[in-house]
Structure 1
């Protein structure tokens, strides 16, 4: 396995680049905008294909690199379903899995620092974001933070993991790089409380100044960038309402780009063809399923995904591959449902 822990000294942020092998798929956790060039250099050096970029929560102390990485690599951006970020390709919830070639991360909802805080468990290690830090815990006094929720996240989820589980946080300001669940149980001063009320009192009396970047970072991280706007301006998009009239037409093929787990959880547009976004380039290349479908039948390919982000990128890729009739459903199946569209299993 390839595992790299990268550090931004300005914000004290740890970023993690993970892959199962050289030349394979990779994902990145909590990227920082100013370090994107470094991440891309490392991806090239290790001959990796960045396919997913994950933020553990909406950060207040740095601007995320999610949007920049998406624009450079067409990777899938991932955050929790509670996030207020405007454009995230995949929104996960407790019990989901984030997968790439050879690796799988279990999704744990661990609110408290913020209401959209998640942790990701991968085998012998867990990425805790700002929920549980090395000898500390994330503050709970802004972004809908809640010390009671954080106590529950830490004591009833994270600390119940095996004690040898390696703990990799999103931040550290003392130079520590890794801990274990067992170490934090014994030595983390904020965890030596006898009750939830004692923890709440402790967290409510920290009186910390706001992060220096908060007024800039939070608005910037909410507005990751509306990739779909440019696709709509080019006339390659249909509204969910208009898409309702396309289903069942003989000259249309509706293509679902989501992963199998998303389809099982959220349902599908009846009659749609499943062609996962991860296989898009192969399917669009000459001889590929979608390329041949469009060429042989003349049908118009209409992509959709969860919220429209992957499908917008797919339309551009289809146009580049010569599938000029391709378009997508703005807002994805989320918008389809809101427009009253039928959903099947």
Structure 2
């Protein structure tokens, strides 16, 4: 496995790049905007293909690199389902997995630092975001933080992992790079409490100043979505109501770009063809199933995904590949459901 821990000294942020093999798919966790060029250089040097970019939570001390990485690599952006970010391509919940070729991360909902904080477990290591730090824990005094929820996340989820599990946090300000669950259980001063009430009292009396970047970073990180307005201006977007009117027409095929787990959890538009986003280039190229549908039969391709981000990128790629009638459902399945469109389970 390829594993790289990268550091942004300005914000004290750790970013993690993972892949199962050289030449394969890669995933990045908690990227920082100012370091995106370095991440992409490393991806090229290791002959990787970045397919997913994950944020453990909505950060307040730096601007995320999710949007820039998406724009430059067409990767899928991933956050927890509670996120306030305007458009994230995939929103995950506890019990699900974030998978790339050869690797699968278990999703743990670990709120407390923020209400959208998640941790990700992979082969004896856990990426804890700001929930559990090395010899510390993330503050709980803004962004719907909750010390009671954080106590539950730490003591009833993270500390129940095997002692040898490696802990990789999103931040460190002392120069430590990795710990273990066993070390934190024994030596983390924030965890030397006898009750949840004692932990709440401790966290409520830290009296820390707000992060320097908070007023800039939080609004910027809420608005990381692809600007679907540009796709609409080009005439390549349908509203959910307009798309519903096309359903059942023999000259139209709806294409679901989501992953199998998303389809199973959230349902599908009846009659839609499943063609996952990672296979898009193959499917729209000469000889690909979508290319043949459009070129040989004249069918109009209507893409959709969860919130419209992947489908907007798919429309641009399809147009570039010569599929000039391709369009997408603006807002994705989320907009479709709000418009009371039918959903099959």
Could you tell me the TM-score, scaled by structure 2's length? 0.99
Could you tell me the TM-score, scaled by structure 1's length? 0.99
> What is the DSSP-based 3-state SS (H/G/I as helix, E as strand, rest coil) of the residue aligned with 2:235?
coil
Give 2:280's aligned residue. 280
Give 2:91's aligned residue. 91
Q: Give the Cα separation in 2 of the matches to 1:237 and 1:83.
A: 25
> What is the DSSP-based 3-state SS (H/G/I as helix, E as strand, rest coil) of the residue aligned with 2:107?
strand
Q: Give the Cα separation in 2 of the matches to 1:120 and 1:246.
A: 40
Give 2:329's aligned residue. 329
**Matched-pair contact (CA < 8 Å) for 1:86–1:226:** no
Give 1:228 deviation, angstroms.
Answer: 1.1
**Matched-pair contact (CA < 8 Å) for 1:58–1:222:** yes
Give 2:109's aligned residue. 109
**Matched-pair contact (CA < 8 Å) for 1:256–1:275:** yes
Map of 1:309-320 to 2, 5 A cutoff? 309-320=309-320
Give 1:63's aligned residue. 63
Give 1:123 deviation, angstroms.
Answer: 1.3
**Matched-pair contact (CA < 8 Å) for 2:53–2:69:** yes
**Matched-pair contact (CA < 8 Å) for 2:258–2:305:** yes
1:292 aligns with 2:292: yes
Q: Give the Cα separation in 2 of the matches to 1:185 and 1:230.
A: 50
Q: Give the Cα separation in 2 of the matches to 1:225 and 1:252.
A: 27
For residues 188-214 of structure 1, the C-alpha deviation after alignment (integer angstroms, 9 at most, x for no partner) is 000010000000000000000000000
**Matched-pair contact (CA < 8 Å) for 1:282–1:288:** yes
**Matched-pair contact (CA < 8 Å) for 2:67–2:226:** no
Map of 1:186-265 to 2, 5 A cutoff? 186-265=186-265
Give 1:227 deviation, angstroms.
Answer: 2.7
Give 1:52's aligned residue. 52
> What is the DSSP-based 3-state SS (H/G/I as helix, E as strand, rest coil) of the residue aligned with 2:106?
strand
> What is the DSSP-based 3-state SS (H/G/I as helix, E as strand, rest coil) of the residue aligned with 2:310?
helix
Q: Give the Cα separation in 2 of the matches to 1:138 and 1:68.
A: 26
Q: Give the Cα separation in 2 of the matches to 1:330 and 1:129.
A: 31
Give RMSD over aligned pairs. 0.5
1:267 aligns with 2:267: yes
Give 1:315 deviation, angstroms.
Answer: 0.2
**Structure 2 unpaired stretches of 5+:** none
Q: Give the Cα separation in 2 of the matches to 1:310 and 1:177.
A: 34
Give 1:29 deviation, angstroms.
Answer: 0.2
How many matched pairs? Answer: 345
Give 1:140's aligned residue. 140
Q: Give the Cα separation in 2 of the matches to 1:178 and 1:278.
A: 32
**Matched-pair contact (CA < 8 Å) for 1:238–1:327:** yes
For residues 206-236 of structure 1, the C-alpha deviation after alignment (integer angstroms, 9 at most, x for no partner) is 0000000001100110111433111111000
**Matched-pair contact (CA < 8 Å) for 1:96–1:106:** yes
1:129 aligns with 2:129: yes
> What is the DSSP-based 3-state SS (H/G/I as helix, E as strand, rest coil) of the residue aligned with 2:217?
helix
Q: Give the Cα separation in 2 of the matches to 1:98 and 1:205.
A: 36
* CA distance 1:166–1:16, shift in 2 (3 Å): same
